Amino acid sequence: MSDRKYFGTDGIRGLVGQHPISPEFVMRLGYAAGKVLAAQGTKKVLIGKDTRISGYMLESALEAGFSAAGVDIGLLGPMPTPGIAYLTKTFRAEAGIVISASHNPFYDNGIKFFSQSGEKLPDDVELAIEAELDNPMGCVESAELGKATRINDAAGRYIEFCKSNFPSRISLKDLTIVVDCANGATYHIAPNVFRELGATVIEIGTSPDGFNINKDCGATSMDAISKAVVEHKADLGIALDGDGDRIMMVDHTGYVLDGDEIIYIIACNDLKTGRKEGGVVGTLMSNMGLELALKELNIEFARSNVGDRHVMELLKKKGWQLGAENSGHVINLNHTSTGDGIIAALNVLTAVTKQEKTLHELRQGLTMLPQLLVNVRFAGENNPLEDAKVLAAVDEVNETLTGRGRVLLRKSGTEPLIRVMVEGPDMDEVTLLANKIADFVKLVK
């Protein structure tokens, strides 16, 4: 990805009003993408967004750029990222464009693209768009300008798709569920999906005002939903992030289940129903408890680099179906082409309903190991990850934890930090060992 000027691992993202998330650049991006995509066939794209105030501005800028390139635009309005991926496929559009900064605050935004197959754009297409951005912006002749139409039934289509991924013979009529939509793109979709499948739904985070997306709610802020589940004596809680591709869940006691625990429940249910196809992909940050629990069940486990894109790449390479990040990106290729919070919730609810067990009971086979992450700031010229004393300390700790835990050192991609992560069966031991490595990192100049 290092030869990219604009595209990161998850599209283009930044502070609204500052390059590249400015109206002028985004219009040029629409034109450049339009020129590249118009050469490929249908000359039609879909644009969807989350609930940020800046979505109106960026949607208009993209629309102008695509129109100038002679590409027709279908406007989806507020729509979860996975919903845009799905509709891009069903409309046979050349691409689906998502205006969202996912779990970030309202003052950030971003643009990401899906291909006609509902997956992230191939690298060669992203590079072609970047190359086109270096050329001056033009405009096709008036007779060839792209038209924009609003797709009014987009939400209904996606709701029906979600419901079709839940077994038709069972119902959620016996469940009371708290659903937290993070005041984001699922606010008018997720509660309806669970309600139409029979559940009693208590909504929170479903009153977006352009500024409150992800603010003290949703999958990145679980206090509100944990409290609501206990107060309402609900069976469980489902928390989505601002664009609906991440999920966290809460059992009836208020305990929070992350992506590791969610994928464990889905994998166990697949095993019980005879649908086991290959193993499970996690990331370098996945808890070792997940790896050990899957091993007990003879389910293979592999780790990718952090990022749902890397999880997807490894799934495809191995021909497996299930993958997740502990942060809540859960991918089930039996049902969808990208990480989808609502679909993941329905996969878990299938297990709850069919096995007649609570969420609390379903996670019992998994013991999460205590994990400590220590961030160490460094300003020296030498790389702590290559320092002999740091490496020796890591080897020593690895030896101490053989078969019981693990060590991971990572450089932050955004700050001058080394992240020291240690996992093991005992929190006191983990704390001691993590600080031991951190002390050596601090000595590097």
- Active site residue ranges: 102
- Count of Cβ atoms closer than 10 Å to residue 387 Cβ: 17
The DSSP secondary-structure symbol of 137 reads P
Question: Using an 8 Å Cβ cutoff, are 120 and 309 in contact?
Answer: yes
CB-based burial of residue 301 (10 Å sphere; 0-12 exposed, 13-18 middle, 19+ buried)? Answer: middle
In angstroms, the CA 16 to CA 61 distance is 13
Cis bond leading into 20, ω under 30°? yes
Buried-state track 350-376, b at ≥16 Cβ within 10 A, e below 16: bbbbeeeeebeebbeebebbbbbebeb
User: In the β-sheet with 330-332, what is the strand arrangement from edge to edge?
Assistant: 301-304, 280-283, 322-324, 330-332
The DSSP secondary-structure symbol of 78 reads E
Element (H, E) at 103: none
Q: Which of 302, 284, 289 is nearest to 257 (CA)?
A: 289
Q: Helix 81-90 to helix 341-355 angle, to the nearest 10 degrees?
A: 100
Q: Under 8 Å CB-to-CB from 173, ≥6 apart: which residues? A: 198, 199
In angstroms, the CA 408 to CA 421 distance is 5
Question: Using an 8 Å Cβ cutoff, are 241 and 104 in contact?
Answer: no
Helix intervals (H) in 39-95: 54-68, 81-90
Question: Using an 8 Å Cβ cutoff, are 36 and 115 in contact?
Answer: no
Both structure tokens of 402: 């053989």
Q: Where are the beta strands (DSSP E) in 325-366?
A: 330-332
